[in-house]
Amino acid sequence: MERDPAVAGQFYESSPSGLARQVDDYIESGVEKEHAIGLVSPHAGLMYSGSVAGAVYSRIKIPHTFIMIGPNHTGLGSPVSMMSSGTWKMPIGELTIDENLANHLHTCSEALSEIITDDILAHQMEHSLEVQLPFILHFSSDVNIVPITMMSVSLDTCRLMGEALADVIKASDYPATIIASSDMSHYETDAIARKKDKRAIERIIAMDPEGLYKTVRDEGISMCGVMPVTSMLFAARKMGAKEAVLIKYMTSGEVSGDYDYVVGYAGVMIK
């Protein structure tokens, strides 16, 4: 299946030249690039969160495959949905799904195969993974992807997902990086958003998936991608990650000037 852009002209420029210029504005030059086990990258409209995403992608070595996990905002499809074949088209290029790795993930354990559904419907209108692609394509059109969306699931499901991802990546013949797509607090004042987001980011930097899941739930932090980030942290921990670094944090108020009603954005690299 060819998956066409769903939010071009809304979350990012729809013309090839316009999108290329838009992404260029957010890419940082002259920074050291490192191999990343996992990333946290936001998914708002590029005018709001593009500088955070650009800072993250500017600092990583592009792997063979990105395993992309994002929240399911539409409610369509299954609780955990993977698109395991085809291509994703964008105004500035297209990326191919890594069918081999997707198949290994789907069959690596009986328990996981009962959780992950091969479901195209969940991906057709979802923006959380699509807005990552302009940054990936800026650096390479040869990299492959494995797109996965998650609704609200249990901590045990996040653990199962993350540890299976780690096993599949470690058994692979080529490097893969896990992208966890998430925005942080939604529609709080700037001061409250920063206070709440700090607590969640502290758990991410500590590489503490259980702590992140609990903190977000107990403190009412409206972090939409907590399931993807928790799953990524379980994977990174099993893969022996040594460090998590906050690359950039900001709120939408810094762009809109409205500090009474903001969304927070964090970019993190785990290595």
User: What is the per-residue pLDDT across 142-154, written as a single tens digit (0 to 9) for each?
Assistant: 999 999 999 999 9
Residue 113's pLDDT is what? 78
CA distance 20 to 86: 24
Q: Which pLDDT tens digit goes with each residue over 41-51? A: 999 999 999 99
Of the two residues 104 and 59, the one the predictor is more confident about is 59
Residue 243 C-alpha from the chain's centroid: 18
Residue 161 has pLDDT above 80, yes or no: yes
* For range 2-15, the mean pLDDT: 97
Question: 29 is written with which tokens?
Answer: 């030059």
Strands, E assignment, the chain:
2-3, 38-41, 65-71, 80-82, 87-90, 93-96, 116-118, 144-150, 176-181, 186-188, 244-251, 262-270
**Structural contact between residues 34 and 61, judged by C-beta atoms closer than 8 angstroms:** yes
Residue 218 has pLDDT above 90, yes or no: yes
**Which band of pLDDT confidence, cut at 50, 70 and 90, is reported for residue 110?**
confident
Q: What is the CATH number of domain 2-270?
A: 3.40.830.10
| DSSP letter (8 states) at residue 34 | B
Residue 36 has pLDDT above 90, yes or no: yes
**What value does the mean pLDDT of the chain take?**
96
**Which band of pLDDT confidence, cut at 50, 70 and 90, is reported for residue 111?**
confident
**Which band of pLDDT confidence, cut at 50, 70 and 90, is reported for residue 160?**
very high
Which of left, alpha, beta for 212 (phi over 0: left; psi -120 to 50: alpha)?
Answer: alpha
**Which band of pLDDT confidence, cut at 50, 70 and 90, is reported for residue 106?**
confident
Q: CA distances (Å), 60 to each of 4, 5, 148, 154, in order? A: 26, 25, 21, 30
Residue 114's pLDDT is what? 81
Residue 161 C-alpha from the chain's centroid: 15
The alpha carbon dihedral of 47, 53, 59, 60 has a sign of negative
Domain map (residue ranges) of the chain: 2-270
**Structural contact between residues 150 and 67, judged by C-beta atoms closer than 8 angstroms:** no
